[in-house]
């Protein structure tokens, strides 16, 4: 099982490296906020900790973890979308709504 | 059955995440791709909620609601100028979530209510908590520096690196102890305490202009901590996302270090600019500086046919991106051509300038990377430098004795004329004299960037 997990880790790392080297510097900030939102996936671990009711300590810690992870997911995806919405091409035919008053 | 559904949702989520990140290679497809990634997240969360281990949904519901309430303003209301600190604080949150999950797993196992801990699992837990705690406080300090709650300059004390090294060594020893004997809870909790302290001490000596590297590196740590959580819980989606995040952060920090011609260790342990900047500044005091009025600068710009705008952190601080776009549009209306030259480490985080200019409705095909545009400076009539300093310092190319020698720069000094918008003659972050400001082709327009640009806009209109 451990080695299977190591395979997953290494292969995902390779995929990440291949994909992310091709992200242009133009989008490096959205990239950071996007990976930040995706790393909110630790929510799946937090959910189990908060809901499995094994001990009060674990439930409380899990609750705080759920709050933190959800904050990152909601805030991260929203801010990434907000940023990406701002990147516009210079196309004289299609004026963006903010320019054509 | 349920378990299979959960796993299926994870596979879907992983595919959508990777497609989402891939969409970021194309600005026109990126938004759609990231929305798909958000759907993937929804799948993963729903897939987890049907997990049979979850017996009580009250705390979960409360946490989800509270998280959404905090997350919404962090996503929608934070101004683009505050993005670096916004990213830093969310790295802290992410790492904290990993740490807390780790601690609760450990606590349960220790008190016999969770799964028992084998050596491999304990190693993963220990690594997760160590790296996570370090990131929590490190990112908090980075946040404080970027938000200017803490002083941005490096805070150093003698023997700092040795002290940090020792602390790290002790934390590593504690980690080994817990791995060998997982019941040593004192060692486990002391390790957390040490790691949080270490996070503070590691980031405190790093100056504001080096923050792009630090934020990217903390991003990488945060991802690795999440991956370690995945190993500890045997959860493959956590491993995948952690690994993606780790790779992304690592790659960005390498790119940023390269853009400053400095090694990782130099950024982390160098406390750049902490040396003797006073002497360097003093030496330049006698050099000639040609100040220019807004009227004269406006005339140069109004009759220029090729203009390159070089934005730096000063533009972000003055929040002058809208005035920049207004000026560029005026010049274009008069028949001039305007391009923007973006240095990889301009601003306080990777890609900072691009987002600011995109917000001001500057089309992204006018934004050029350093390598794309450096050849064009000799044919440029006016290079307009707005609050940038070290990234346009020709000493990096010419002066072998300069601390920034070898750093790739924008060749602004090769333009026919240069106008520099700057508050005053203070040296840049690195505390190094910039000969560009004393060059015969350079004129300086002193004052707040936003005010100067507004003046330029009205003068160009009148010209």
Cross-chain residue pair A35–B367, CB shorter than 8 Å:
no
CA distance A34 to chain B (A): 8
Same domain, B353 and B431: yes
Q: CA dihedral defined by B411, B448, B203, B201, rounded to 10 degrees?
A: 140
Structure tokens at A9: 């880790």
Q: Into how many domains does chain B fold?
A: 3
Judge whether A92 is closer than 8 Å to chain B, CB to CB: no
Same domain, B15 and B109: no
Cross-chain residue pair A78–B107, CB shorter than 8 Å:
no
Same domain, B138 and B180: yes
DSSP helix/strand/coil, B369: strand
Give the mean pLDDT of B225-251.
94
**What span, in angstroms and rounded, lies between the C-alpha atoms of B302 and B403?**
37
Residue B413 near residue B395 (C-beta atoms within 8 A): no
C-alpha radius of gyration, chain A, whole number: 19
Domain boundary among B270, B304, B326: B270
DSSP helix/strand/coil, B290: coil
* Share above pLDDT 70 across residues of chain A, in percent, rounded to a whole number: 88
Same domain, B56 and B132: no
Lowest mean pLDDT among B16-20, B130-134, B276-280: B276-280
Chain B residues with CB under 8 Å of A21 CB are 251
Same domain, B14 and B158: no
Q: How many CB atoms lie within 10 A of CB B424?
A: 7
Residue B294 near residue B384 (C-beta atoms within 8 A): no
Judge whether A88 is closer than 8 Å to chain B, CB to CB: yes
From the list B103, B216, B344, the residue facing A61 with the nearest CB is B103
Structure tokens at B342: 């973006």
Q: CA dihedral defined by B89, B389, B429, B278, rounded to 10 degrees?
A: -170
**What span, in angstroms and rounded, lies between the C-alpha atoms of B328 and B453?**
10
Judge whether A101 is closer than 8 Å to chain B, CB to CB: no
Cross-chain residue pair A78–B75, CB shorter than 8 Å:
yes
Alpha helices per DSSP H over B234-276? 236-259, 264-270
Lowest mean pLDDT among A51-60, A76-85, B4-13, B206-215: B206-215
**What span, in angstroms and rounded, lies between the C-alpha atoms of B334 and A10?**
55
Same domain, B90 and B64: no
From the list B86, B107, B361, the residue facing A96 with the nearest CB is B361
Backbone angles phi, psi at B453, to 5 degrees: -65, -40
For the entire predicted model, the pTM comes to 0.89
Quote the DSSP letter at residue B118.
-
Prediction ipTM score: 0.90
Same domain, B328 and B237: no
Asked if the structure places residue B11 within a domain, the reply is yes
Cross-chain residue pair A62–B246, CB shorter than 8 Å:
no
Interface of A with B in 47-76 (CB under 8 A): 47-55, 57-59, 61-76
Lowest mean pLDDT among A37-51, B50-64, B255-269: B255-269
* Share above pLDDT 90 across residues of chain B, in percent, rounded to a whole number: 65
Residue B318 near residue B331 (C-beta atoms within 8 A): no
pLDDT of B280 strictly over 80: no
Asked if the structure places residue B209 within a domain, the reply is yes
Pick the residue from chain B with its C-alpha nearest to A3: B231
Asked if the structure places residue B34 within a domain, the reply is yes
Segments forming the whole domain that contains residue B57: 1-77
Block residue for tokens 């291949």 = A18
**What span, in angstroms and rounded, lies between the C-alpha atoms of B47 and B37?**
15
Q: Residue B41: what pLDDT?
A: 96
Same domain, B298 and B410: yes
B348-407 pLDDT tens trace: 888 899 999 999 999 999 999 999 999 999 999 999 999 888 889 998 888 888 878 888
Cross-chain residue pair A49–B22, CB shorter than 8 Å:
no
Asked if the structure places residue B67 within a domain, the reply is yes
Q: Tell me, yes or no, if B390 is annotated catalytic.
A: yes
Same domain, B41 and B133: no
Asked if the structure places residue B39 within a domain, the reply is yes
Q: Which residue among B390, B411, B413, B448 is the active-site one?
A: B390
Written in H, E and C, the secondary structure of chain A is CHHHHHHHHHHHHHHHHHHHHCCCHHHHHHHHHHHHHHHHHHHHHHHHHHHCCCCHHHHHHHHHHHHHHHHHHHHHHHHHHHHHHHCCCCCCCCCCCCCCC
| Mean pLDDT of chain A, nearest integer | 88
Cross-chain residue pair B251–A20, CB shorter than 8 Å:
yes
**Nearest C-alpha neighbor of B127 from the set B215, B237, B223, B219:** B223
B11-34: b or e for each residue (b if 16 or more CB lie within 10 Å)? ebbbebbbbbbbbbbebeebbebb
What CATH number is attached to the domain comprising B331? 3.40.50.1220
Same domain, B299 and B416: yes
**Nearest C-alpha neighbor of B428 from the set B453, B452, B454, B409:** B409
Give the mean pLDDT of B31-45.
96
C-alpha radius of gyration, chain B, whole number: 25
Residue B82 near residue B148 (C-beta atoms within 8 A): no
A57: exposed, middle or buried (Cβ count in 10 Å: 0-12, 13-18, 19+) = middle
**What span, in angstroms and rounded, lies between the C-alpha atoms of B142 and B80?**
17
The end-to-end CA distance of chain A, in Å, is: 61
Chain B residues with CB under 8 Å of A79 CB are 74-76, 78, 83, 86
**What span, in angstroms and rounded, lies between the C-alpha atoms of B213 and B88?**
12
Asked if the structure places residue B281 within a domain, the reply is no
Best mutation target among B94, B232, B258 (most A Cβ atoms within 10 Å) is B94
DSSP helix/strand/coil, B106: helix
**What span, in angstroms and rounded, lies between the C-alpha atoms of B344 and B354?**
10
Quote the DSSP letter at residue B342.
E
B64-75 pLDDT tens trace: 999 999 999 999
When pLDDT is cut at 50, 70 and 90, the band that residue B421 belongs to is very high
B139-181 pLDDT tens trace: 999 999 999 888 877 888 888 888 888 999 999 999 999 999 9
Cβ pairs A/B, distance under 8 A? 379
> Sign of torsion, CA B121 B125 B130 B136?
positive
Residue B92 near residue B136 (C-beta atoms within 8 A): yes
Cross-chain residue pair A35–B45, CB shorter than 8 Å:
no
Same domain, B105 and B64: no
**Nearest C-alpha neighbor of B140 from the set B74, B190, B183, B197:** B197
Same domain, B100 and B61: no
Cross-chain residue pair B21–A68, CB shorter than 8 Å:
no
pLDDT of B270 strictly over 80: no
Pick the residue from chain B with its C-alpha nearest to A67: B67
**Contact residues for B410 (Cβ-Cβ < 8 A; gap 6+):** B310, B341, B343, B370, B373, B374, B377, B388, B391, B392
Domain boundary among B46, B77, B108: B77
DSSP helix/strand/coil, B33: helix
Chain A residues with CB under 8 Å of B70 CB are 67, 71, 75
């Amino acid at each position: 099982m451990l080695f299977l997990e190591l395979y997953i880790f290494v292969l995902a790392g390779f995929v990440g490296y291949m994909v992310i080297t091709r992200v242009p510097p133009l989008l490096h900030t959205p990239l950071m906020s996007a990976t930040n939102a995706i790393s909110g996936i630790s929510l799946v671990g937090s959910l189990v900790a908060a809901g499995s009711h094994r001990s009060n300590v674990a439930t409380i810690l899990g609750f705080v973890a759920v709050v933190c992870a959800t904050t990152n997911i909601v805030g991260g995806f929203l801010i990434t979308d907000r940023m990406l919405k701002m990147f516009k091409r210079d196309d004289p035919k299609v004026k963006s709504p903010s320019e054509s008053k | 059955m349920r378990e299979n559904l959960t796993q299926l949702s994870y596979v879907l989520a992983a595919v959508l995440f990777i497609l989402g990140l891939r969409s970021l290679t194309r600005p026109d497809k990126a938004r759609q791709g990231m929305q798909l990634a958000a759907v993937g997240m929804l799948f993963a969360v729903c897939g987890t909620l049907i997990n049979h281990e979850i017996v009580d949904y009250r705390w979960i519901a409360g946490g989800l609601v509270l998280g959404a309430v905090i997350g919404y303003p962090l996503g929608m209301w934070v101004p683009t100028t505050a993005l670096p600190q916004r990213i830093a604080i969310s790295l802290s949150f992410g790492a904290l979530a990993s740490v807390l999950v780790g601690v609760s797993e450990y606590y349960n196992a220790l008190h016999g209510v969770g799964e028992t801990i084998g050596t491999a699992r304990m190693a993963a837990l220990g690594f997760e908590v160590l790296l996570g705690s370090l990131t929590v406080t490190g990112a908090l300090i980075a946040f404080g520096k970027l938000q200017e709650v803490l002083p941005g300059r490096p805070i150093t004390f003698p023997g700092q690196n040795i002290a940090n090294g020792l602390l790290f060594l002790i934390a590593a020893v504690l980690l080994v102890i817990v791995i060998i004997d997982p019941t040593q809870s004192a060692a486990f909790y002391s390790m957390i305490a040490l790691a949080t302290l270490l996070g503070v001490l590691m980031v405190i000596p790093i100056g504001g202009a080096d923050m792009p590297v630090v934020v990217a590196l903390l991003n990488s740590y945060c991802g690795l901590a999440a991956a370690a959580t995945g190993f500890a819980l045997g959860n493959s989606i956590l491993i995948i996302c952690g690994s993606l995040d780790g790779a992304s952060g690592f790659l960005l920090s390498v790119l940023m270090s390269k853009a400053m011609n400095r090694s990782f260790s130099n950024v982390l342990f160098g406390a750049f600019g902490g040396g003797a900047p006073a002497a360097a500044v003093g030496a330049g005091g006698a050099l000639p500086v040609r100040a220019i009025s807004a009227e004269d600068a406006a005339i140069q710009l109004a009759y220029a046919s090729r203009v390159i705008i070089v934005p730096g952190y000063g533009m972000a601080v003055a929040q002058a991106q809208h005035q920049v776009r207004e000026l560029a549009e005026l010049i274009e209306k008069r028949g001039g051509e305007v391009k923007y030259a973006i240095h990889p480490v301009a601003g306080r985080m990777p890609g900072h300038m691009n987002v600011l200019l995109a917000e001001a409705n500057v089309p992204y095909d006018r934004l050029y990377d350093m390598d794309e545009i450096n050849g064009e400076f000799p044919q440029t009539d006016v290079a307009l430098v707005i609050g940038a300093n070290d990234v346009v310092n020709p000493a990096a190319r010419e002066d072998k004795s300069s601390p920034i020698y070898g750093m790739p720069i924008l060749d602004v000094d090769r333009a026919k004329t240069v106008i520099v918008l700057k508050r005053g003659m203070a040296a840049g972050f690195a505390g190094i004299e910039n000969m560009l400001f004393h060059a015969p082709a350079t004129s300086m327009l002193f004052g707040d960037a936003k005010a100067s640009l507004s003046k330029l806009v009205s003068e160009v209109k009148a010209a």
